[in-house]
Amino acid sequence: MVLLEGAGAVAMAAAAVIGLAALATAWAEKEIGSAAVGAMAENDKIFGKALILMVIPETIIIFGFLIALLIVGKV
Amino acid sequence: MLKTERMTRVLVMGTMDAIRETVDYLYGTQSFHVVDFKRDEVHDIGTPLAEANEASAKLLKMMSVSSSLDVEEPSTPQKVPVDKIRRELDAALTHMELEISAEMHARKGIEDLLSQKKAMLASISPFCELDFRLDLLTHLTSVAVLSGRLRGNPEGDLKAITDAYGMFNSQDITVVLIGKEHAEPAMKALSARGFAEVKIPQLDEVPADAMGRLNREITELEAKLAEVEGRLGKLKTANSQFITAALENLTIEANKAEAPLRFGTARFTFLIDAWVPTRQMETLRKGLAGIRSGAVDMVPIAAEEGEDSPPILMDNPKAARPMQMLLEMFSLPSYNEIDPALFMFVTFPLFYGLMLGDIGYGVVILILVLSGGLTKLMNRLGMSGGAPGLNKILLYCSISSIIFGFLFDEIFGFEILGHYFSFTLFDIHFPVHRGETEMVAPMLILCVWIGIGHLMLGYIAGFRNVWVQHGLKHAILEKGGWCLILVGLTLFAFSAMPRLISGEGIQFNDPQAIAGIALLGTGVAMAFAVEGINTLLELPGLSGNLLSYTRIYAIGLSSIGIALAFNENLAMPAIESGGFGIIIGVAVLIGGHALNLALGIIGPLIQTLRLHYVEFFTKFYKGGGIKFNPLRYVRKHTKEV
């Protein structure tokens, strides 16, 4: 039995890829962000380092975005 | 440029009679980063100059005056001449102290009285409806008086005990007079209604009269208090400028007088250990030699091994200086490292412009920056410290956004300009509509190429850093190896990726792929020789770094997406429906683009910063420098004549 096919399946796959990647990024950044704010409350000179740690997981969503583009556009 | 300012460690030495002029000279030139002196066999830590005590004492007094008057820094500083402050300080201080202490004393007395009267009023007010003197109730011998608050009317409960009782019941208070022998059961009955006792105040007046008198007295006292406050307020307005200026001057004088605490002194000589910019050496030396015809001299000394590294004073062309703020936020370059502010001066606005790339948003940001609106916004958010630096960075970024806005043909997400102007360069037809499907692949590839270039720049900078720090061989093996890895990976990826996507599979016999793998292998072997297993661990990271640059396109696309959604899906249908719809449509346009602009300022800024901090800096930058912090002062409210 085929549940999904054609353009619908492609769109669903792309949506799942970018959605799940976004979820993963958000989850990781939530943990890091709260720790970073806590550390910055102790010493606000580490803003630069905290920012780096904070944005590291953003690469996950970028990968998700690329895969989604590849799926949709078959580029 | 690229290098931080070169520093020389110097010893300044002189005779004790010249120490005051030397301190003045050091502060005047703002070029001496003093290192705290460590006691040795000959020299002890210096003692403050004679005037230190006086300056600190006056500073303390002035601070107390300032805090009791609640003086705020005037927003438009007028500079008070220093000699005027010196002339008038003592008289002004005595005068103000006297006035303030008299007024403060008066205020304290009035406030004490006021609070007494108010407490009295509060204790009487529950009994205001009783029309007899309250002290009649407090001298009874055979009758118990129960006064307090309770729920409802206790009449029935009391009747059950005895008929011989008197009761006064009002909203606020219930007073029961009952024979002493019935006091206990009556108390029980009242307690069942949540009785809470209220003490009857000692008062030889009828409550209503007493309240009238107290209210009159309170009004009078409040008027007097207002008078005192008014006089204090006048004192504040008349003197706040002088107080702020005097505080500034006294702080400077106290700091100067205490500077010898960081020097070494023997009986007749003093010794100052400091870093100075190398290129100012000769001027400074001549200047010091001029003090008391040669009583002071300065000699360079070799920094000892393992001692603190030189302080960092970044040295960039004026235009690139705003970028130094981004380095200060991260970590200052160390002394032997390349200062990347100049690279960032080019790449930062470039990436930002590629991401935002909209004439409309660029112009709005430009206006916000030039009109000072952004500064006001940042002040309101409590981030006033970063405002001047961010203003200049955003100025560059907005100009770059406008330029890319022309190339991408975007004004608030609308493609208008393309109808009027277009040109072809390197076989590319401009303007490029980057939101269109056929532009996705070329834009992504462009982003990866930008990444390759940026990382290569990072490795080259890293090559120079390692060369200076660990020698040429190490640099060639480590950073040279990584350069080869990057080139090899690029060759291989551009051979393999198109085939992988088209389903053809990777062709390992393609000459480009072979060359790529060969370079990659050589590079890994070279870097492995110095870094060991770390090279293999960092290899996947490099491809991740490269793909990370596609965020340049991704952020731009999301900004276009939001603008399009507001323009074409929400605002345009409303406007086309006419009438009331036009108002709604315009409101949606303004609100939507304000939102997108806020995202458009913050998003590209953070992402561009990340591409620099994470991807770029990890290739060459370690940081950890200490800021050059010379003896100096800033006069905002005073001036030397």
The label of the residue with tokens 């102790």 reads A42
Query: Minimal Cα–Cα distance from A71 to chain B, Å?
Result: 10
CB atoms within 10 A of CB B513: 19
Which tokens belong to A51?
């920012």
The pLDDT of residue A1 is: 53
Residue B184 and residue B107: Cα distance in Å, rounded?
48
The letter for the amino acid at B426 is F
The pLDDT of residue A25 is: 92
Cβ contact, residue pair A66, B613, below 8 Å: no
Inside any domain, residue B607: yes
Cβ contact, residue pair A59, B548, below 8 Å: yes
Contacts of B440 in chain A (CB under 8 A): 69, 73, 75
Which tokens belong to B479?
């950073």
How big is chain A, counted in residues? 75
Where does B476-510 have alpha helices with state H? 481-502
Query: Minimal Cα–Cα distance from A4 to chain B, Å?
Result: 22
A32 touches chain B (CB under 8 A): no
The pLDDT of residue B219 is: 92
Q: What is the pLDDT of residues A24-61, one digit of tens each?
A: 999 999 999 999 989 888 887 777 778 778 888 888 88
Cβ contact, residue pair B437, A69, below 8 Å: no
Inside any domain, residue B612: yes
Identify the contact set of chain B against chain A, taking CB-CB distances under 8 A. 329-331, 437, 440-441, 444, 501, 544, 547-548, 550-551, 554, 606-607, 609-610, 613-614
Q: What is the pLDDT of residues B330-354, one digit of tens each?
A: 888 888 888 898 999 999 999 999 9
Query: Minimal Cα–Cα distance from B448 to chain A, Å?
Result: 12
Query: Which chain A residue is nearest to residue B448, measuring alpha carbons?
Result: A66
Residue A51 and residue A43: Cα distance in Å, rounded?
14
Residue B176 and residue B195: Cα distance in Å, rounded?
12
Query: Minimal Cα–Cα distance from A75 to chain B, Å?
Result: 6
Inside any domain, residue B486: no
Residue B26 and residue B34: Cα distance in Å, rounded?
10
Residue B298 and residue A30: Cα distance in Å, rounded?
55
Domain spans in chain A, listed from the N-terminal domain onward: 26-75
Model pTM score: 0.75
Contacts of A51 in chain B (CB under 8 A): 329, 606, 609-610, 613
Q: How many domains does chain B have?
A: 2
What pairs with residue B169 in β-bridges? B174
8 Å CB contact between B203 and B133: yes
Q: What is the pLDDT of residues B174-210, one digit of tens each?
A: 888 888 888 888 888 888 888 888 888 887 888 888 8
Query: Which chain A residue is nearest to residue B617, measuring alpha carbons?
Result: A52
Contacts of B445 in chain A (CB under 8 A): none
Cβ contact, residue pair B550, A47, below 8 Å: no
The pLDDT of residue B125 is: 84
Query: Which chain B residue is nearest to residue A60, measuring alpha carbons?
Result: B548
B194 and B342 fall within a common domain: no
Pairs of residues, one from chain A and one from chain B, whose beta carbons lie less than 8 Å apart: 49
Residues B593-619 have a mean pLDDT of 87
A66 touches chain B (CB under 8 A): yes
Q: What is the pLDDT of residues B617-637, one digit of tens each?
A: 888 888 888 888 888 888 888
Selecting from B501, B544, B606 the residue whose C-beta is nearest the C-beta of A59 gives: B544
Mean pLDDT of chain B: 85
Nearest residue to B629 via CA among B36, B38, B32, B37: B32
Which tokens belong to B77?
């500083």
pLDDT score of A20 more than 90: yes
Cβ contact, residue pair A52, B613, below 8 Å: yes
pLDDT score of B74 more than 80: no
pLDDT score of A75 more than 50: no
Inside any domain, residue B566: yes
B322 and B462 fall within a common domain: yes
Choose one of B165, B184, B200: the last residue of a domain.
B200
Inside any domain, residue B499: no
Contacts of B498 in chain A (CB under 8 A): none
Which tokens belong to B216?
């009159």
Interface-testing mutation among B344, B434, B548, with chain A (most A C-beta atoms within 10 A): B548
Which tokens belong to B618?
């990890």
Selecting from B501, B548, B613 the residue whose C-beta is nearest the C-beta of A48 gives: B613
The pLDDT of residue B305 is: 59
Query: How many alpha carbons lie under 13 Å from residue B508 in its C-beta half-sphere?
Result: 2
Q: What is the pLDDT of residues B542-573, one digit of tens each?
A: 888 888 898 898 888 888 888 888 888 887 77
Query: Minimal Cα–Cα distance from A12 to chain B, Å?
Result: 19
Choose one of B175, B200, B225: the last residue of a domain.
B200
What pairs with residue B145 in β-bridges? B177
pLDDT score of B83 more than 70: yes
Residue B263 and residue B39: Cα distance in Å, rounded?
9
List Cβ neighbours of B88 (8 Å cut-off, separation of 6 or more).
B242
Cβ contact, residue pair A73, B544, below 8 Å: no
Selecting from A51, A73, A74 the residue whose C-beta is nearest the C-beta of B609 gives: A51
Query: Minimal Cα–Cα distance from B38 to chain A, Å?
Result: 28
Residues B19-41 have a mean pLDDT of 86
Cβ contact, residue pair A51, B606, below 8 Å: yes
The pLDDT of residue A23 is: 94
A9 touches chain B (CB under 8 A): no
Cβ contact, residue pair A51, B547, below 8 Å: no
Query: Minimal Cα–Cα distance from A69 to chain B, Å?
Result: 8
A20 touches chain B (CB under 8 A): no
- Tell me the CATH number at B143: 3.30.70.2750
Contacts of A52 in chain B (CB under 8 A): 330, 610, 613-614
Domain span including residue B353: 318-470+550-619
Residues B520-543 have a mean pLDDT of 87
The letter for the amino acid at A38 is G
Query: Which chain A residue is nearest to residue B547, measuring alpha carbons?
Result: A63
A48 touches chain B (CB under 8 A): yes
Query: Which chain A residue is nearest to residue B439, measuring alpha carbons?
Result: A75
